[in-house]
Structure 1
Amino acid sequence: MDHDRMADIIEIEQLLARYAVAMTRDDIDAVMEVFTPDGCYRAFGDTYTLADFPRLVAAAPKGLFLVGPPAIELDGEQATGTQPLCFVDQTDHQKRIGYYEDTYRRTEHGWRLATRAMTFLRRSGARDSGRPHDPTRPEPTGNPEPTGTPEPTGNRGHPQ
């Protein structure tokens, strides 16, 4: 692997580490900084743009976002990746596990997340993007999503 490719992978890994730390610290500004201006997050059967992030993160449970190393595929100024996640709720230590499917884009500020899609792994064996009926999550504002947004894999919206 050449030096430039290694440098890009390390930069993306650090970007994802900043996301996990910011979510663990409940630092919405730092979470938003790792995304492109047109970036979005997909879960719960919906797509959320940056304008939605403050409400979405405020409604999310608080706890530890423990992530594994991402598998990254570079393609010039863009890349894709998958990163495992184990979230531990700080109030009861219940876990949620799954993985993110991402697209990344090199910007004037370095690599940024363009899209992030969450797939939850359920005890039943199902894989889905979350419970669309979760009453605590806000509705997205309906802003258009960037092209290339990955769809979470598996059975969307099915409970455990």
Structure 2
Amino acid sequence: MSTDDLMAIHQLLARYAVTITRGDLDGLLAVFTPDGTYSAFGDTYGLDEFPALVDAAPKGLFLTGTAVVELDGDTGTGTQPLCFVDHATHDLRIGYYTDTYARTAHGWRLRTRAMTFIRRSGAHDSGRPHAYQRP
């Protein structure tokens, strides 16, 4: 694994956190491959569903930690811790993302991102099924 590849992926993940925190949907979509997906709430969402999904989500700070990354040529996997702080209440949600990455003509991109929440009980899960209602 080259240092350049690792830095490029870490910058990609930082762009995800900053763009979603700022409400920059175009910037958020740009960190994914065209066939990219996001999984949470017992379901998987394509990029065409992101505008409605992001609009329905609470707003606040997406504070991410350094990801553990494994690369194999032009693909990779990783896990990144997350602490989300709601902007209105400052309530916290904690968990981690499980990712796959692909090297594209535009550099490294997320192919898949799956959210796992850590509950007060200590349980790790992907959220309540259908917490987000598709249009």
What TM-score, normalized to structure 1?
A: 0.82
CA RMSD of the aligned region, Å?
1.1
Query: Larger strand proportion, structure 1 or 2?
Result: 2
The answer to whether the aligner puts 1:89 opposite 2:86 as a matched pair is yes
Aligned equivalents of 1:138, 1:9: Cα separation in 2:
36
The answer to whether the aligner puts 1:138 opposite 2:127 as a matched pair is no
Match of 2:114 among 113, 117, 122: 117
| Structure 2 letter corresponding to 1:29 | D
Question: Which runs of 5 or more residues in structure 1 are unaligned?
Answer: 141-160
Q: How many residues align structurally?
A: 135
Match of 2:51 in 1: 54
How do residues 98-117 of structure 1 correspond to structure 2 at under 5 angstroms? 98-117=95-114
State the percentage of identical aligned residues. 67
Residue 138 of structure 1: CA displacement? Answer: 3.0
| Structure 1 letter corresponding to 2:60 | G
Residue 50 of structure 1: CA displacement? Answer: 0.3
Tell me which stretches of 4 or more aligned residues in structure 1 moved more than 4 Å.
Answer: none
1:55-95 superposed Cα distances (whole Å, 9 cap, x missing partner): 00000000000000000001000010000000000010000
What TM-score, normalized to structure 2?
A: 0.97
